[in-house]
Amino acid sequence: MRLIIVDYVGNPGGGVRFTAEMVAAFAARRELQLELVSHGEALERYRAILPPDRVAFRDLPHRNHWTKAPNWPRWPMRRFGKLTRRGSAFHFDVPAEAFAGADLVWLPWIHTHRVPNRLSARVVGSLHDLILLEFKDHVHPRLWRAEEKTVRRWLRSRARIVVSSRATVAALGRLFGAAPERTAVVPLSGMHRSRPAERAPADAPFLGAPYLLCPANTHIHKNHEVLLDGVGAWAGPHPLVLTGHGTGLASERGREARLRERAAARGLVPGRNLFGMGYRSDPEYFHLLRHAWALVMPTRAEGGGSFPVLEALLAGVPVICSDIPVMREMLGWTGGEVQWFHPDRPEELAERLRELEAGYPRFRRRAEEQVASLHQRTWDDVTADYARILGLPGAPAPSPVR
């Protein structure tokens, strides 16, 4: 059976990781012939991480009508430069040629992708979140409308759509009136099939002493404003370490500059009690995670939960997390314990940090002890659920999720 995988984004971080973990699990099914269709930077990312002995690669440019439109404003080209260098800030039209020879087609990242409706019956698409639509006040209206149209097209198509949480099912109902049965829910895994050897960052002078780690890019929904306000109000003895795209806070304009100014107003000084590390490779990140005093995740919205929170739970690191439905859902099936705070209340975050500081030996001991009792959902479990949705022969029954 020939399974063709189509992705023109190759989103660095969670997007590529999701696809890589799934493809590695699919590759173990010898009855499958796997082919990945992509182009440009996304294709090169996948060539670098997917096994060439089990995955064929096809360089097929997408069709994109955005580049033919003469009247788009210029500022989106600056604001969404990385996307426009891939061809479009708005959507990719998947050519019909991508379906040639396919028994099934899987799009691991349906965001910004549009497929021919006449061919959609053979398609399974993964919808990761609706964050762009839920934070419309922070998105250019044309980009928001393009994404809204793309999601609506998927919902009206014959494609099978998979989401990673019931919270996303509820959001689809709220924003589009979609019935719950329109989508299938397959929770993700926080485990790594093969985790690289750790490597200490050379530019981390805080190593060797306790530090608070926040691994999140600086997109608005990650809620760094409340993080900085809460940590500043805590005024604790341990520095805050930021990782993720944009967290270097080096830009003299835009969001990075505003966050740097906010940090300074809260008494957080770069190089002293604040370290913006930017995006880090897996070897460096896992070293930072394993040696962290605690991990804080202030996010206002996620699609299926948080990889960093799952990884911290599995590493026995105490976690302080924003109390939002999708995170409650994830912790429900994982069986882990964290400290919760309201994402709009920095004073609650400060209070949780004080509680952690005052009772740290107890919190650390509990975090380490609970590792053995966590419900450790694997990528094989995730892929088995997808195999059932794809209708692959011999697919197992759904894996249990609490």
DSSP letters of 363-385?
Answer: HHHHHHHGGGGS----HHHHHHH
The pair phi, psi for residue 281, each rounded to 5°, is -65, 160
The pair phi, psi for residue 304, each rounded to 5°, is -125, 10
Tell me which architecture the domain covering 212-373 has in CATH. Answer: 3-Layer(aba) Sandwich (3.40)
**Domain 2-189+378-390 and domain 212-373 have a common topology:** yes
Query: Which one-letter amino acid corresponds to residue 240?
Result: L
Give per-residue pLDDT as tens, 11-60.
Answer: 877 788 899 999 988 988 888 999 999 999 999 999 998 988 989 999 99
Q: Specify the pLDDT at position 72.
A: 36
Average pLDDT over residues 118-135: 94
C-alpha to C-alpha distance for 388 and 210, rounded to whole angstroms: 45
The band of 90, judged by pLDDT with boundaries at 50, 70 and 90, is confident
Q: Specify the pLDDT at position 17.
A: 85
- Domain 2-189+378-390 sits in CATH at 3.40.50.2000
C-alpha to C-alpha distance for 388 and 367, rounded to whole angstroms: 34
Q: Which of 81-85, 243-247, 262-266, 375-379 has the lowest mean pLDDT?
A: 81-85
Average pLDDT over residues 192-219: 91
Determine whether 167 is exposed, middle or buried from the number of CB atoms within 10 Å of its CB (0-12, 13-18, 19+). Answer: buried
pLDDT at 136 over 60: yes
Domain borders along the chain are: 2-189+378-390, 212-373
Label the pairing between strands 212-215 and 294-297: parallel
Measured torsion, CA atoms of residues 86, 117, 152, 149, in degrees rounded to the nearest 10: 40
Q: Specify the pLDDT at position 16.
A: 86
pLDDT at 195 over 80: no
Give per-residue pLDDT as tens, 344-356.
Answer: 999 999 999 999 9
pLDDT at 289 over 70: yes
* Beta carbons of 43 and 16 less than 8 angstroms apart: no
Average pLDDT over residues 165-183: 97
- DSSP E strand boundaries for 281-353: 294-297, 319-322, 339-341
Mean of all residue pLDDT scores within the chain: 89
More confident residue, 11 or 341: 341
